[in-house]
Amino acid sequence: MKMTTMFSDQPYSAVAIGLCFGVLLLLPWLHLLPPDSAFYLSAYWVTLIGKIMCLALVALALDLVWGYAGILSLGHGLYFALGGYAFGMYLMRQSAGDGLPDFMRFLSWTELPWYWTGTEHILWAIALVILVPGIVAFIFGFFAFRSKIKGVYFSIITQAMVFAAALLFFRNETGFGGNNGFTGFKTLLGFDITSAPMRATLCFVTALVLMLCFIGLRQLMNRPYGRVLGAIRDSENRLQYLGYRTLWYKLSAWVLSAVIAGIAGALYVPQVGIINPSEMNPVNSIEMAVWVAAGGRGTLIGPILGAGLINAAKTYFTVAAPEAWLLILGALFIVVTLFLPKGVIGLFDRFKKERN
């Protein structure tokens, strides 16, 4: 079985995608221009662009397991939040200095919990960003896939998992700030986290990570590994009959997807300045699936486009007509399901066929 992306036979697409990523890499530095410059980007726009790119990275991660392996997760918000909390612990230690974080002092704690050990070091924080979502995903995925849970049952379990995690993190005694979570970040690597150079750097790093993840996953999906995932999606039983141990293919894709989502969460937190259990709201995970479906699952570039368009629309409508946003989102999902089964990317394919 040959697994191809929507753009695999269009040489000009690589140039177009490269130009788009080039623009994303350039935009953050416009924040460093004089405010009276015609090309100056305010802190609001730099933060918004960085936030949307983080969400696009989550959509890219979800597309790996849903678009290619056919595994619909409605709980990827958990891995996103875990990555955010892991890096948020480092930011809280930076703000607290030699003392305890503010929320611990408020609760009259006298010492840090054992799992906060080493979080004052950024290298350990980065390791936690990768290890925590990866280990949680491995444990959950191993037992779920070994039990051969599939389809809607698997999706429901992932949603239940993220809801249970949200309830856990809401509790003050867990040591993660309870309902308020982590906020009040001041410095990153000793630099003011709200300064223009740091905002531009964080946004640039997010664009760079998004580009590298896209290139890496595209290369991976064009290799035999990607073709096996596609075969699992189309007919896992037949693939098992041929001797493939599909458990490990699905598990590896699941863990890789969780790690990418965790990295997205870690990049998200210093840019928006907060992480709390609301990021584990099951509705957020459902929205992630909408981004992938709207953009075009199984294409990698489609989910990035879908996340960008929908979150840009959300930013506008939640200000202009906040009570109407959920209705608009629901209507969008219906339109995509009925008329755009291949998402926005499918429109390009349809346009090409009409021209030919």
pLDDT tens-place string over residues 206-243: 999 999 999 999 999 999 999 999 999 988 888 888 88
Domain count for the chain, please give it: 1
- The whole-number pLDDT of residue 9 equals 39
DSSP string, 162-216: HHHHHHHHTSGGGSS-TTT-EE---EETTEETTSHHHHHHHHHHHHHHHHHHHHH
pLDDT at 8 over 50: no
What is the rounded CA–CA span in Å between residue 122 and residue 128? 10
**Domain interval for residue 107:** 3-354
H or E element at residue 345: helix 343-355
pLDDT bracket for residue 11 (50, 70, 90): very low
Q: Each residue of 96-122: pLDDT tens digit?
A: 888 888 888 888 888 888 999 889 999
Report the sign of the C-alpha dihedral through residues 250, 252, 258, 264, in that order. Answer: negative
Q: Which of 343, 328, 212 is nearest to 267 (CA)?
A: 212
pLDDT (average), residues 298-318 = 90
What is the rounded CA–CA span in Å between residue 258 and residue 260? 5
What is the rounded CA–CA span in Å between residue 76 and residue 133? 10
pLDDT (average), residues 20-42 = 90
- The whole-number pLDDT of residue 352 equals 65
- The whole-number pLDDT of residue 69 equals 92
Q: Each residue of 170-208: pLDDT tens digit?
A: 988 888 988 888 998 988 988 899 899 999 999 999 999
Task: Give the residue, 230 or 4, on which the prediction is more confident.
Answer: 230
pLDDT (average), residues 10-24 = 79
Sequence-ordered list of residues with C-beta below 8 angstroms from that of 75, at least 6 positions apart, any chain: 157, 158, 159, 160, 161, 162, 282, 285
For the chain, give the number of residues: 356
Q: Which of 351, 341, 355 is nearest to 299 (CA)?
A: 341
